[in-house]
Chains A and B, each alone.
Chain A
Amino acid sequence: MDEFIKNLRLAGGEVLEEIPDGWYVTQAEFGVVENGTVWVREYKKELFLSEKVAVKMPKKFVKTMQEAMELINSPGVFISGPSKTADVESFLVFGAHGPVRFGIIFDKGL
C-alpha cells in the first residue's frame, strides 16, 4: 500500500481523510501498485469536467497492470492523478483539461 501511495503522489494524486466540499466523488474498485492508478468503472462526464475529483476505494490492490487486466470485465477508466500536460516548454502543469486535483479516500474498516 505504501508503494501504491508513493506512486499515486508521484502522479500528482493525494490521499484524503474525508470528502471535502465541492469535490466530485465517485467509486474506484482497486488500485495498481506499480503506478498508483485506480480503476473506475463509472465513466461519467463529471470525472473530467470537475475541478476536483475524489474516489472512494477499498484497500484492494494488484501489483501490475498485467494483473489488473484479469479483474476487468467492463469498460471504464484507469485514473492516475489529476489531468496534466507538459506541452508548454516541457513544463509540467496540472489541470490541462480535466481536474486540477485528484484524491483518493480509503473505505473505512478493514
Chain B
Amino acid sequence: MKHYELAINFYKQKGPRHDKALWAIRQKRDKAIKEVDEWEELREKASKIKDEVINNLQDYVKEFIKNAKKEGIELFFAKDAKEHNEIVFDLLKEINAKKVVKSKSMLTEECGLNEFLEKRGIEVIDTDLGERIVQLRGEKPSHIVLPAIHTTKEEVAEILGESNTDPTYLTHKMRELLRNEFLSADAGISGANFLVADKGWAVVCTNEGNADLGAVLPKLHIISVGVEKIVPSMRDLGVFLRMLARNATGQKITTYTSIFGRKENGKRVIVLVDNGRFERLNTEFKETLKCIRCSACLTTCPVFRRSGGHAYRYVIPGPIGSLLAPLNNKEEYSDLPFACTLCNSCEMVCPVKIPFSKQLVKMREYVTKDDFAFKFIETSLHSPFAFKLFSKIIRLTPKSILKKALNEWSKYKEFPTIPPKRFIDG
C-alpha cells in the first residue's frame, strides 16, 4: 500500500490524537528554541560545520579512526549493511553471546540488525521503552525520537498483559522487566549521536539511561554509527548539544549526554558504517548527510502528523525519510516525495538547514519517469495560443468528465466553477 492509502487508515483510527500530541511537542520545541537568543546563528553555524564535515568526510573518518584507536576503542569500518551485521555478529560470537540489549539506533534499523541476529540465535532486546513497545507489538518505530507515538496507553497495557493503563505504572512495569534483561545481557549495542574527530570519542544523548546501562553493565559495548555523525571538535559538539534536545522534544538537554572513550571494565567497539553514504556525496542529495536525526522535521510536518510514520514504510519517515527512502529504493518509495505539500515547515525547523523544498522537488524529479503527455503539454504551454486552445477544450468538456479526471479532488471537495471568460484572452 502507498502513503495515501495507509494515511487514510491511520487518520481514521488515530489521526487527531496523533496530530495533537505532536503539535504539543512542536509548541514545546518553539518555546525552547525561543529561549536561545542566538538560535538562528546556531543553525547557521551547525549547517556550516556539517558542510565542512561532509565536504571532507574521508579526512574526518581517518582522523576519527586514528584518535579513537589511540583512546583504546576498537574500530571497524563496514561498507554496507551486510558487512555491518556480520561484523557485529562476529564480535558477539567471539564472546558466545546469547542476549544483547540494544538502545535506540536508527542505523541498526537501517541495517536490519535485529532480524539478522535473531536468525542466528541471538536474542535482541530493544531497551528504549518506546522501541520495546513497538518490538513487542511486532512493529517498527513510527518516529525516530518517539518510536511509539502512534500507540495508546491501552495498547501498551494490552501487550504487557496489564489491566492498569496508568502511564507511570506501565513505565515502571517495563523498567522492571527490562532491568532483568540488562543484568543478564552479554553485550550492549547502541548508536551514537556524534563522533568527535579530534578526540576519538562517541557521544550518546538519551533520556532513559538505557544506552548507559547497556554500555556499562555488559563486558562488550558496540556502537554502530554512520560515518556522517562525525563533528570536527568538542567546540563544534557544543553547538549541536545546545540544539538537539531543544529541537527534538523541547527539553533544554537530554537527561544523559554520555561521552564515551575507552571502556573500563571490558571492550568498546565502534562500527563505522558507510552503506551508501560516500556514494551519496556525489549526488545532488548529499546535503541529506547533514541530518542529525533530531526528528523536528517529522514532528512539524502537517502530513506526517496526520498520516503517522508507518505510512512512509521506511526506517526514517517524514520529510527527511522522503529524501532518504527513494535513494534506497526508487520504485518502492516513489510516492513519498509527493506525500508533501511543500509547505517548507521542515526547512524552517531543521537545525542544519537542509534545503528541503529544493531537495524534495529534486527528489520528485528523480522518482518521476519521463511522460510524453507532460512533455507535450509543457511544450505547448510556451505558446499563448496553444494555452488558449487547451482552455477552450477544458471549457467544452462536460463537468462530469473533469470531475472524474480529478477524482482525488472531487471525492472530498466541491469542484470549482470555471468562469466563461479569461482575463488575458488574446
Contact = CB atoms under 8 A, between A and B. Distances in A.
Interface of A: 7, 10-11, 32, 34-37, 43-45, 47-49, 64-70, 72, 74-91, 93, 95-99
Chain A CB count within 10 A is highest, among B167, B216, B237, B255, for B255
B208 A84 contact: yes
B270 interface: no
Nearest to B246: A35
A77 B256 contact: yes
A43 to B, nearest CB: 7
B216 A93 contact: no
B171 A85 contact: yes
A66 B213 contact: no
Nearest to B173: A88
B208 A98 contact: yes
8 contacts: A66-B235, A69-B241, A75-B259, A85-B207, A86-B249, A88-B148, A90-B25, A97-B209
B62 interface: no
Contacts of A96: 129, 171, 175, 207-210
B213 A34 contact: no
A109 B242 CA distance: 31
Size category, B interface: 35 or more
A109 to B, nearest CB: 28
B215 to A, nearest CB: 9
A88 B257 CA distance: 22
Contact of A88 (B127, B167, B234, B256): B167
A97 B217 contact: no
Contact of A98 (B172, B209, B249, B262): B209
B238 A69 contact: yes
Top 9 nearest A-B pairs (CB, nearest first) are A98-B209, A35-B252, A91-B167, A66-B238, A87-B130, A96-B208, A75-B261, A69-B238, A83-B209
Interface string B213-244: 10011000000000000000011011101100
Contacts of A85: 129-130, 171, 207-208
B172 A93 contact: yes
B188 to A, nearest CB: 12
Contacts of A74: 261
Which one of A43, A48, A88 has the highest number of Cβ atoms from chain B below 10 Å of its Cβ? Answer: A88
Nearest to B133: A87
A84 B255 contact: yes
A35 to B, nearest CB: 4
B311 interface: no
B168 interface: yes
B361 interface: no
Contacts of A35: 252-253
A60 to B, nearest CB: 17
Contacts of A90: 21, 24-25, 146, 149
Contacts of A66: 235, 238-239, 242
